[in-house]
Amino acid sequence: MREQGVDTIMNLAIRCLSAINLVQLGAFRWGAMFLVLAVAAIVSAGVFFRYVLNDSLSWSEELAKYAMLWLVFLGAPIALRLGVHPNIEIIIARFPSRVTRVILAVMHLAVCVFCSFLAMKSHDFAWNGRTQVAISVGDISMYWFFVSIPLGMASMALVSLQQFLEDISFLVVGKPAEQDAFVTKHRPVLDEF
């Protein structure tokens, strides 16, 4: 009876986190696609102006760097949720399923704690950068470039918390939690490559 109550609470928490992550990762996905196009356009314009018109743009390189910074921290939580970050599975694959889940649960909890810590510290860093401006890209506060770091770290913390709860649910109930909509929708596309 107690396991059923834990299972119900765990599934509710997983579904809530899944809904939050579905929205945020969906928005991040669109943002990342836009930023890929923006970086390509900015770099192409920089090359065109420098080598064709012989008059380089003063802002293109710096703006492309800041766009790539945003791209990294929008893409990292997506890659974490889809399980496509580089990893070494040869050791963990040798253990039984239950031991593997315990190891994964510990790893996901460690990632959650680490990313939460980085989110707090990087927010302080971003906030301290609010008085600095990027002159070459139009006097924009550096806060708007640096805030991508705590945003990405907080998102990764939420994703890894969901993964941790899924691992714990598997250990308690004995069956994997139902796959969330984001993974169901986007994982098959990655499997084609």
pLDDT of residue 186: 67
Residue 152 resides in a domain = yes
**Percent of the chain residues past pLDDT 70, beyond the cut:** 89
Residue 19 resides in a domain = yes
Domain that holds residue 127: 2-177
pLDDT of residue 106: 95
Least confident stretch, 11-20, 143-152, 161-170, 177-186: 177-186
Please tell me which residue, 139 or 82, carries the higher pLDDT value: 82
pLDDT of residue 121: 96
Task: Report the candidate in 167, 158, 71, 163 with the shortest Cα–Cα distance to residue 116.
Answer: 158
Residue 187 resides in a domain = no
Our count of domains for the chain comes to 1
Confidence of residue 138 (pLDDT cuts 50, 70, 90): confident
pLDDT of residue 125: 92
Residue 186 resides in a domain = no
Least confident stretch, 114-123, 133-142, 145-154: 133-142
Residue 190 resides in a domain = no
Backbone φ and ψ for 115, nearest 5 degrees, come out as -65, -35
Residue 56 resides in a domain = yes
pLDDT of residue 11: 83
Residue with tokens 């065109």: 48
Q: Give residue-wise pLDDT tens across range 48-93.
A: 999 989 888 888 899 999 999 999 999 999 999 988 888 777 888 8
pLDDT of residue 98: 86
Question: pTM of this prediction?
Answer: 0.87
Q: Give residue-wise pLDDT tens across range 161-184.
A: 999 999 998 888 777 667 777 777
